[in-house]
Amino acid sequence: MPNTVLDAINEHAEEIRALGPANESLGRLDDQTAKVLRETGAIRMLQPKTYGGLELHPREFAETIMRIAACDGATGWVAGVVGVHPWEMAMADPRVQEEVWGEDNDTWIGSPYAPMGVLRPVDGGYVFNGHWQFSSGTDHCDWLFLGAFLADKDGNRLNPPRSVHVVLPRSDYEIIEDSWDVVGLRGTGSKDIVVKDAFVPEYRVIEYSKVVDGTLAKEAGLTNPTYRLPFSAAFPLGITAAVIGICEGALAHHMAYQRHRVQITGTAVKDDPYVLYAVSEAAAEIAASRSALLDNISQLHDMVAAGREVTFDRRAVGRRTQARAAWRAVRAVDEIVARSGGNAMRMDNPIQRFWRDAHTGLAHAIHVPGSVFHAAALTQLDIEPPNGPMRSMI
């Protein structure tokens, strides 16, 4: 079955590229960029068919995000982050789904999932407070998933802690306008969110543990294997796909720029075997990153489709693969940028923007390799990693 969203993105590729500088200048996606994403169906790839979604294979989702990000990093990043939220919304209480998509199935849902809020129980629900950073694409979203901890009636966090995702409408939170002044991915508009004493009904609160272990998808009666994927595989997918796509875009711009470039030594790049070797090595590394990410998510999807459990050790290896793919691709971009010449750093040359975007994307928490690599190594030694940070992102 052809990926019609990818075909539509290819038709709009030049427009997406041309809008890149406008996104960066605005500090958010330009309205026309958001319109392109809506019209191509890019945000509905993982949305349930009951609300106009496409329920694409996660590999197709990742391939499409890579293509968008290769045209413009910020656009690809927002598509990857906002585009994964319909995956979780498919598992949510039907009342929430109707509130979000009942009148408009093109309604966007933002985040972040970091548990920076506190829910205090009251009759019928909770009172919610918190402050979050990094709400990518938030100017174009009307609802959010926000991470939080449950508290007792006095507002003290429960011990042991219980993490949840809270679904909140635009009327119940504030976007802090001047909170996104960064070196890369400026066009994502990943601004701060503040919630003050918002009432949240119980049905808009999702137990994080049920998302992680697949219980929520089972309770919702979802049979499509895409919705049975581990959260630690689905959530990072769009983000890492965007980073790899950005690296592919950097490589494409580098090649176009170098084709006729003559170095200060008088040697044309096409005649410099050292530069050509570095370019080929970088291209191979970026291609390997792409293949690793797509192969990993395809394997996980096949496991779930066959009714097999995705164990903790397999999830850890999957996260290791995903994080390493991002690092490998960005390091390859560093090699070609170092050989692009001083003019590549001029602000009118897109190479520098892709370079900045790639490094900013690599700084996301899901790309921090330390605890993930540690846990993966322990599992391969048949040693169970301890509870705590080492398991939290897996």
Mean pLDDT of 2-14: 93
At residue 264, the pLDDT reads 85
CA 244 from chain centre, in angstroms, equals 11
The domain made up of 4-101 is a member of CATH 1.10.540.10: yes
At residue 122, the pLDDT reads 97
Rounded to whole angstroms, the Cα distance separating 194 from 236 reads 24
The mean pLDDT value of the chain amounts to 96
The domain made up of 109-206 is a member of CATH 3.40.50.360: no
Least confident of 49-58, 299-308, 345-354, 381-390: 381-390
Mean pLDDT of 221-243: 97
Please tell me whether the peptide bond between 86 and the residue prior to it is cis, using omega within 30 degrees of 0: no
Q: What is the pLDDT of residues 243-256, one digit of tens each?
A: 999 999 999 999 99
Tell me whether strands 174-176 and 191-201 are parallel, antiparallel or unpaired: antiparallel
Q: What is the pLDDT of residues 203-224, one digit of tens each?
A: 999 999 999 888 999 999 999 9
Percentage of the chain modeled with pLDDT above 90: 91
Tell me whether strands 125-135 and 191-201 are parallel, antiparallel or unpaired: antiparallel
At residue 1, the pLDDT reads 57
Mean pLDDT of 269-287: 94
Mean pLDDT of 121-139: 97
Helix (H, G, I), strand (E, B), or coil: what is residue 373? helix
Q: What is the pLDDT of residues 162-198, one digit of tens each?
A: 999 999 999 999 999 999 999 999 999 999 999 999 9
Segments of the chain assigned E as strands: 109-110, 115-122, 125-135, 143-150, 163-169, 174-176, 191-201, 205-207
At residue 190, the pLDDT reads 98
Supply φ then ψ for residue 355, to 5 degrees. Answer: -65, -45
At residue 156, the pLDDT reads 94
Q: What is the pLDDT of residues 314-338, one digit of tens each?
A: 999 999 999 999 999 999 999 999 9
Q: Is the pLDDT of residue 276 over 60?
A: yes
Q: What secondary structure does DSSP assign to 215-241, as a single string?
A: HHHHHTT--SGGGGS-HHHHHHHHHHH
CATH superfamily ID and name for 229-392: Butyryl-CoA Dehydrogenase, subunit A, domain 3 (1.20.140.10)
This prediction has a pTM of 0.97
Mean pLDDT of 120-124: 96
Q: Is the pLDDT of residue 258 over 80?
A: yes
Q: What secondary structure does DSSP assign to 61-126, as a single string?
A: HHHHHHHHHHH-HHHHHHHHHHTTHHHHHTTS-HHHHHHHHSS-TT--EE---SEEEEEEEETTEE
At residue 108, the pLDDT reads 98
For the chain, give every domain's residue range: 4-101, 109-206, 229-392
At residue 327, the pLDDT reads 98
